[in-house]
Structure 1
Amino acid sequence: MALALAGLAGLLVLCGLAAGSEGWSLQWLGGWAAVDNPAAAEWALVLDIRAPRTLGALLTGGLLGLAGAIAQGLFRNPLADPYLLGSAAGAGLGVVLVLAAGGALGHYIGLATASSLLRVGLVGAAFAGAVLGVLLTLLLARGTGRPMVLLLAGVVVGILLSSVSELVTLVSPEALRGKQIFMLGSTSFLGWPGSAVLGGVLLPAAVLAWRYARALDALVLGEDSAASLGLPLRRARLLLVLLMALATGTAVAQAGLVAFVGLVAPHLVRRVVVVTHGPLLLLSAAAGGVLLLAADVAARSVMAPQELPVGVLTAVLGGVYLMVLLRHRQRGLL
Structure 2
Amino acid sequence: MTSETTESGTARLALFLCLSLIVLVFAVAAATAIGDYNIPLRTVFLSVTNELGLTGAEIAPIQQSVVWNLRLSRALIAALAGAGLAICGAILQALLRNALAEPFVLGVSAGASTGAVCVIVLGIGAGSLSLSLGAFAGAFAAFALVALLSNGATSGPNHTILAGVAASQLFNALTSYIVTTSGNAQQARDVMFWLLGSFGGVRWPDFQLLLGVVILCFTICIWMARSLDAFTFGDEDAASLGVPVARIRIVLFGVTALLTATIVSMVGAIGFVGLVVPHAARYVVGTLHMRLLPACAMTGAVFMVLADIASRMIATQQTVPIGVVTALVGVPFFAIILYRARPQT
TM-score, shorter chain, exceeding 0.5: yes
Task: Give me the whole-angstrom Cα distance separating, in 2, the residues matched to 1:8 and 1:28.
Answer: 17
**Aligned match of 1:108:** none
Give the C-alpha shift of residue 219 in structure 1: 2.0
Dislocated runs of 4+, deviation >6 Å: none
Q: TM-score, normalised by structure 1?
A: 0.84
1:300–1:120 CA distance, 2 compared to 1 (3 A): farther
Instruction: Indicate yes or no: 2:257 matched with 1:245.
Output: yes
d(CA) in 2 for partners of 1:321 and 1:136?
Answer: 27
Closer, same or farther in 2 for the Cα pair 1:100/1:250, shift >3 Å?
closer
Q: What are the residue-to-residue correspondences of 1:219-298 with 2, within 5 Å?
A: 219-298=231-310
User: Which residue of the other structure, out of 15, 19, 23, is the alignment partner of 1:4?
Assistant: 19
Q: How does 1:88-127 map to 2 (within 5 A)?
A: 88-102=109-123, 122-127=131-136
- Aligned pair in 2 of structure 1 residues 128, 321: CA closer, same or farther (>3 Å)? same
Aligned 1:147-158 pairs, distance under 5 A: 148=157, 150-158=160-168
- What runs of 5+ residues in structure 2 fail to find an aligned partner? 1-15, 51-55
Give aligned-pair identity as a percent.
34
Question: What residue is the counterpart of 2:28 in the other structure?
Answer: 13
Structure 2 distance, partners of 1:186, 1:178, is: 10
Deviations 1:168-190 (A, max 9, x none): 34423525323311221011111
Q: Distance in 2 between matches of 1:282 and 1:30?
A: 30
Amino acid at match of 1:164: L
What's 1:171 paired with? 181
Q: How big is each residue's C-alpha offset from its partner over 1:17-67, in whole Å with a ceiling of 9 and x where there is no partner? A: 2112123523344453245x53x4312221111111111100011110100
- Call closer, same or farther: CA 1:53–1:150 in 2, change over 3 Å: same
Instruction: Give the 3 Å change call, closer, same or farther, for CA 80–306 of structure 1 in structure 2.
Output: same
Whether contact under 8 Å (2:73, 2:202) holds in the other structure is: yes
Determine which of 77, 80, 91 is the counterpart of 1:70: 91
User: Does the Cα contact within 8 Å between 1:94 and 1:126 map onto a contact in 2?
Assistant: yes
Structure 2 partner of 1:303: 315
| Deviation (angstroms), 1:130 | 2.1
SS of aligned partner of 1:23: coil
**One-letter amino acid matched to 1:241:** F
One-letter code aligned to 1:154: G
2:73 counterpart of 1:52: yes
Q: Is the 8 A contact 2:311 2:325 kept in 1?
A: yes
TM-score, normalized by length of structure 2? 0.81
Unaligned runs of 5+ in 1: 106-113
2:102 aligns to what SS in structure 1?
Answer: coil
Distance 1:93 1:272, change over 3 A: same
CA 171–17 in structure 1, closer or farther in 2 if over 3 Å, else same: closer
Q: Distance in 1 between matches of 2:268 and 2:253?
A: 20
Q: Provide the rounded CA distance (Å) in 2 between the counterparts of 1:85 and 1:125.
A: 18
Q: Quick check: 1:131 aligned with 2:140?
A: yes
Q: 1:30-45, aligned counterparts within 5 Å?
A: 30=46, 32=50, 33-34=56-57, 38=60, 40-45=61-66
Aligned to 2:218: 206
Q: Return the letter of the residue paired with 1:98.
A: V
